[in-house]
Structure 1
Amino acid sequence: MTDTPDPARFDHVTDWVFDLDNTLYPHHSNLFSQIDVKMTGYVAELLTLSREDARKLQKELYLEYGTTLNGLMQRHGIDPDAFLEHVHDIDYSWLVPDPVLGAAIRQLPGRKFIFTNGNRSHAERTARQLGILDHFDDIFDIVAAGLTPKPARQPYETFAALHKVTGANAVMFEDLARNLSVPKSLGMTTVLIVPRNFEPTFSEIWESDPTHEDDVDYVTDDLASFLTTIVEANAA
């Protein structure tokens, strides 16, 4: 399931902004499941809960505060550094290097950024395993955002000010439609990344965010092909 990008819609783009988890690597790699399990374990140990109750609370915090970390900070005053180090202690070999994606990102005209609710070291390890780390100009992580996660407006504005990004000249790639709402309001072109062979019947298990459909310009389940189409049009 891939919208074919209109290259003319991307001629003006000078800044390419990518979410990390389930965006730069495919959902089916299941890497984030390791982080998810680590977060559940952290909540269970912190609050002396069963894993079932910890899992329920973890998801409540995520929905209410944007990330589990933000919820734990707000309600329990935890040390964010310790949390981030713990949940990102995972096996990155689950990711398969993606030379096609790397070549496409490298050839995109302008600057390229990773903008993630995770931390920098996680982004670096992930991108390095994919073979694409060297193609990015910078990583804007949850620490750079002042620990305020997407989809809050503040981190987008902080990112844009830091890197002098003008919305009209930028495009954002995200796997959650609600995280494209602010970029869209800032004038960015928005691209939603969905799982490979995405079907409407998956909507109950995937955060499709139907209330944010108007914030999405394009939908693709193959980021490498989507970018390659743009690169090849620019080269023609």
Structure 2
Amino acid sequence: MAFSKEPGQSPAALLEKGNPTKPVLFFDVDNCLYPQDSGVQEEAWEGIYNYIKSHVGLDKEQAAELCAEYSKTYGFLPEGLVRHHSIDAKHYNSTIDEGLPIEALLKPDPKLRQLLQDIDRSKVRLWLFSNADDVYVKRVVRHLEIDDCFEGLSYCDYARVPLLHKPKREKFQEAMKDAGIESITDCYFVDDSYLNCRGAQDFGWTAMHLIQDGFPTPPSRASQHQIKSLEELRVIFPQWFKN
């Protein structure tokens, strides 16, 4: 893995290693660094429905309703399952995310890699920020052949009680600490989740809500920017690119 920093380091520790303070562009992973119609999401939901059927005792239709309710209420389905059904978050995560056939569904995208390489690292730093665990995130970006494009990652620790995740304000604070960035106004964020982008904007970050072609547009914007492709970053932030 090419990540040069581990989560949890203080800004002072990063600066001591010679990392100057500069803006950080945080990237979500799922449905953000690969096409939303790749089939990963469908596989994940199928696994979730089966898990809820086995551990909560609901059929698929009831499970879908429960997922919608908890996702809306908490912004993160596992939190609802832990709170109301005593689900072991770590077991849930290992069953769902680690069981996804990533290698069969995804393939490296040379255009994405070129986009990331065209960003001038002397002007902005790139950091991964996911509600998945670190093992899954590393597995995905390694398979996509872009692991060397990011300095580090902030992820969800499913063994932690209570769970800390996007869009909680404390999770954005933790991501800043992980990345060694002190100024909220120097934080930029790309995510496909409406709630995560709204949470980021409310926290003071500049957020780009990614809605890929073929997927519904919300009646109101989640954040400052709404994009259909990561390529639009070239237009929004031309000062960050080499060419």
* Superposition TM-score tier, normalisation by shorter sequence: 0.7 to 0.9
Describe the shift of the 1:134–1:70 C-alpha distance in structure 2 as closer, same or farther (beyond 3 A): same
Residue 81 of structure 2 is aligned with which of 72, 87, 97?
72
Q: Mean Cα displacement is larger for which, 74-83 or 143-152? A: 143-152
Question: Quick one: which of 207, 210, 230 aligns to 1:193?
Answer: 210
Unmatched segments (≥5 aa) in structure 1: 1-11
SS of residue matched to 2:226: strand
Q: Contact 2:28 / 2:130 at 8 angstroms: preserved in 1?
A: yes
- Cα pair 2:208 2:227 within 8 Å, conserved: yes
Quote the Cα distance in structure 1 between the aligned partners of 2:196 and 2:118: 26
Cα distance change on mapping 1:136 and 1:151 into 2, 3 Å? same
Instruction: Please report how far the alpha carbon of residue 65 of structure 1 lies from its aligned counterpart in structure 2 after TM superposition.
Output: 2.1
- Aligned counterpart, 1:117: 131
Shift of 1:19: 0.9
Q: Which residue of 1 aligns with 2:241?
A: 234
Task: Assess if the C-alpha contact under 8 Å between 2:118 and 2:241 holds in 1.
Answer: no
CA-CA distance at 1:231 after TM superposition: 6.3
Letter in 1 for 2:224: D
Gapped runs of 5+ residues in structure 2? Answer: 1-20
- 2:107 aligned residue: 96
TM-score, length-scaled by structure 2: 0.78
2:167 aligned with 1:151: yes
Could you tell which deviates more after superposition, 226-235 or 34-43? 226-235
1:18 paired to 2:27: yes
Distance in 2 between residues matched to 1:77 and 1:171, nearest whole Å:
35
Q: Under a length normalisation based on structure 1, what TM-score does the superposition of the two structures give?
A: 0.80
Structure 1 contact 116–142 (Cα < 8 Å) conserved: yes
| Pair 1:163-2:173 in alignment | no
> Deviations along 1:119-177, whole A, 9 cap, x unmatched?
11221122122211121111211118952221121111111123222222221001123
The answer as to whether partners of 2:127 and 2:151 remain within 8 angstroms in 1 is yes
- Which residue is equivalent to 2:189? 172
SS at match of 1:27: coil
Deviation at 1:113, TM superposition (A): 1.2
Q: What letter corresponds to residue 157 of structure 1 in structure 2?
A: Q
1:56 aligned partner: 65
Counting matched residue pairs gives 214
* Residues 197, 221 of structure 1: 8 Å contact kept: no
CA RMSD of aligned residues (A): 2.4
CA contact (8 A) 1:145 1:159 kept: no
Q: Are residue 130 (structure 1) and residue 130 (structure 2) matched? A: no
Question: Is 1:221 paired with 2:231?
Answer: no
1:181 deviation in Å? 2.5
2:159 and 2:180 mapped to 1: Cα distance? 15
Q: How much identity, in percent, do the aligned residues show?
A: 22
Match for 1:150: what amino acid?
Answer: K
Q: Return the alpha-carbon distance in structure 1 between the equivalents of residues 240 and 74 of structure 2.
A: 41
SS in 2 for 1:41: helix
Structure 1 position 189, deviation (Å): 2.1
